Amino acid sequence: MERLDIVVCTRNNEPTLRQSLQRILSYGAPARLIVVDGRSTDRTTEIATDMGAQIYSDEGRGLGYARNMALQLVQTPVFGFVDADAFIPKNWIDLQRHMTDPTVAAASATTIYGYRNPPLQRFHEWMAARSAEDVGFVSTIVRRNTLLKAGGIREDLTAYEDWELYGRLKALGLKWISDRSVVTYHPQTMLSFLSHARRWGFGAKRSGVDATRFVRPLLTSPFWGVRMAAQVHPIHAIYYPLLRLSYLVGYMEG
């Protein structure tokens, strides 16, 4: 396995950053640990400095800008993105094995949101077992030159920048692998995940996604909510329709 540069984009991530970076240093063994910070006002940059990271600022321009900035900062041809509130597993570096295929542009670990929040964690474990696609930059390794040739990462998107890129890569005949054998945990409350969904919907609208992607799931969400209440947790009879509504609200705001 090669040592990779690993990039962490931050903004006020004091509660989770130290544990996230500790795991990267232990399980990712980075060539360089790079933090791109969005003008944090808490102890984020202090923690990153203590952990030996090289710190850069995106001047508060947003997540898409920070991620695209990373393409210019890294020095290894394959590098990693790990979110500042994501906890990678011991086998995370095994994602590199997918890069033996030159058509693979990115390989992501499976992300389980709601770490130690049983209703939300079980929901994402249930979804992961049924979904073929789980792309995203939460904990992913990417091929730098391939992303640059595809046009880079949309700097104007503060969310959904990974799925927008996935669409362009797919159109070029390139692959984004979702590896179910590598699982990253993402601590989040049920309320904060609704906010996450709203931002994701906002970015989807800015990316040009058709509204039917959000309207149809909302219409069928009561049925799926009842099914999830029976199979996952009773709260999902209410929570799942609220989640689908949050996506649509963000889309309309976008």
This prediction has a pTM of 0.94
Report pLDDT for 80.
98
At 28, the pLDDT band (50, 70, 90 cuts) reads confident
Contact indicator for 93, 130 with CB cutoff of 8 Å: no
HEC sequence for the chain:
CCCCCEEEEECCCHHHHHHHHHHHHHHHCCCCEEEEECCCCCCHHHHHHHCCCEEEECCCCCHHHHHHHHHHHCCCCEEEEECCCCECCCCHHHHHHHHHCCCEEEEEEEEEECCCCHHHHHHHHHHHCCCCCCCCCCEEEEEHHHHHHCCCCCCCCCCCHHHHHHHHHHHCCCEEEEEEEEEEEECCCHHHHHHHHHHHHHHHHHCCCCCHHHHHHHHHHHHHHHHHHHHCCCCHHHHHHHHHHHHHHHHHHC
- Report, as an integer, the average pLDDT of 16-23: 98
CA 214 to chain centre: 19
| Residue-wise pLDDT tens digits, 59-101 | 999 999 999 999 999 999 999 999 999 999 999 999 999 999 9
pLDDT average, residue stretch 152-178? 97
Please state the length of the chain.
254
pLDDT tens digits, one per residue of 185-198: 999 999 999 999 99
Q: pLDDT > 70: what percent of the chain?
A: 99
* Angle subtended by helix axes 190-206 and 236-253, to nearest 10: 30
pLDDT higher than threshold 80 for residue 206: yes
pLDDT over 90 at 131, yes or no: no
Q: Which two tokens stand for residue 157?
A: 């998107």
Look at residue 200 and tell me whether its pLDDT is greater than 80. Answer: yes
Quote the pLDDT of residue 146: 98
Is the pLDDT assigned to residue 133 strictly greater than 80?
Answer: no
Q: What residue ranges define each of the domains in the chain, with the CATH number in brackets? A: 6-188 (3.90.550.10), 194-253 (no CATH)
Average predicted confidence (pLDDT) for the chain: 96
Taking 90 as the threshold, does the pLDDT of residue 157 lie above it?
yes
Whether 68 contacts 155, CB under 8 Å: yes
